[in-house]
Amino acid sequence: MSAQKLLVLGTGGTIAGSAATATGQSYAAGEISLDAMIADIRGLGLTVELVPKPIARIGSQDIGWEQWDALHGEIIAAQADPDIAGVIITHGTDTAEETAFLLDLTLDPGKPVVMVGAMRPADAVGSDGMRNLANAIRVASDPKAQDRGVMVVMGDTVFAASDVRKAATSNIDAFKGYPRGPIARVTPSSLDWFAPAHRVGSTARFQWPEALPRVAILTAGAGIDAMPVKALLGIGCKGIVIAGMGQGNAPRVVLDALAEAVRDGVPVVRSSRVDEGMVDRNVEVDDDAYVFVAARALGPAKSRILLMLLIASGVTDAKAVQAAFDGD
């Protein structure tokens, strides 16, 4: 029997990072080529066949439409290719949450799509990249990984795209899941699934758009006034996500300015700048009166992705946007 084939899409990040010294702190993301990484992982004697395809060599803070469009196109082609069993994306950790969620919302489940990164560059002492990549290979080639949507593998842990977020700047176990925690534990020699697939829908929730609209995240802080809202509207923002205090709160003057934005056809989603927790409707802010949307379990970064896709699909009505945030 021939070896399983996995497509590996490289985008850069710390997993392809190179340090000035093995013990220093400074390094450059995306320095190491995908071919070099694949050569290293082949040296581990894994039985899968890896098909490398470089997309970019960037820190993921610079990722955007161009790379997302390329990734989406490659994955659609891989899903249609009977020779390819699954897809791995090597990616910086800073925006892994955003790319994973965007792809999860726009791809059919089916073949596994596994995103993987690293917290330490490839040549730093105690580097986690090769282990994470070996773990990602194990997940992407497992039959039980089918139909779970996009997953993120970091620190011997597997998360669903809808839950995952980066929760620490430099620890090896930097990723957390909310509202659901890890769905599996993985090592290069073991894989234990302990949560069923919980992806919404059996097909892609959104068509791949032709472009993504400008949607901004505005972080609320004590004492801010309405000027940032007016500035965002002035540069043509098509949607605003507020990373509010607590349950998605903001000073009254800010809420009033956001209500004006809604009246001008700009949907407003209230999420929280707090790490975890639900933002529900009409708790302290009267969403019904303001015609705001509550982000529910989604944090600001994921809220922005979902709102961009909704607006790109022509959905701006607050009730319809709320239904999407409710997971319907």
Whether the CB-CB separation of 99 and 91 falls below 8 Å is answered with: yes
Please give the residue ranges that form the binding site for ligand GLU (CB under 6 A): 13-14, 29, 59-61, 92-94, 117, 119
CB of 190 to ligand GLU, least distance (A): 25
d(CA 187, CA 92): 20
Identity of the residue, 63 or 258, whose beta carbon is nearer to ligand GLU in the bound complex: 63
Taking CA atoms, 248 is separated from 133, 144, 167, 176, 310, in Å, by 37, 37, 19, 20, 20
Identity of the residue, 15 or 297, whose beta carbon is nearer to ligand GLU in the bound complex: 15
Say how many C-beta atoms besides its own lie within 10 A of residue 187's C-beta. Answer: 12
178: which residues sit within 8 A by CB, 6+ positions away? Answer: 163, 165, 275, 276, 277, 297, 299
CB of 95 to ligand GLU, least distance (A): 6
CB of 220 to ligand GLU, least distance (A): 25
- To the query of whether residue 14 is one of the catalytic residues in this protein, the response is yes
CB of 38 to ligand GLU, least distance (A): 18
Q: Sort 250 into a burial class: Cβ within 10 Å, 0-12 / 13-18 / 19+.
A: buried
Identity of the residue, 59 or 112, whose beta carbon is nearer to ligand GLU in the bound complex: 59
Upper half-sphere CA count for residue 276 (Cβ side, 13 Å): 12
Identity of the residue, 59 or 267, whose beta carbon is nearer to ligand GLU in the bound complex: 59
**What is the residue whose two structure tokens read 């399983």?**
4
**Phi/psi of residue 139, nearest 5 degrees:** -65, -50
Residue nearest to ligand GLU (CB): 92
CB of 152 to ligand GLU, least distance (A): 12
Whether the CB-CB separation of 162 and 324 falls below 8 Å is answered with: no
CB of 126 to ligand GLU, least distance (A): 14
E strands, the chain, in order: 5-12, 18-19, 27-28, 49-58, 84-90, 113-116, 150-154, 157-160, 164-166, 175-177, 184-187, 190-193, 215-219, 239-244, 268-272, 293-294
Which is catalytic among the residues 11, 14, 95, 99? 14
d(CA 186, CA 167): 20
Identity of the residue, 89 or 240, whose beta carbon is nearer to ligand GLU in the bound complex: 89
Identity of the residue, 88 or 257, whose beta carbon is nearer to ligand GLU in the bound complex: 88
Identity of the residue, 64 or 246, whose beta carbon is nearer to ligand GLU in the bound complex: 64
CB of 275 to ligand GLU, least distance (A): 18
184: which residues sit within 8 A by CB, 6+ positions away? Answer: 139, 157, 158, 191, 192, 193, 194, 195
Whether the CB-CB separation of 109 and 148 falls below 8 Å is answered with: yes
Collapsing DSSP to helix, strand or coil, 219 comes out as: strand
Catalytic residues: 14
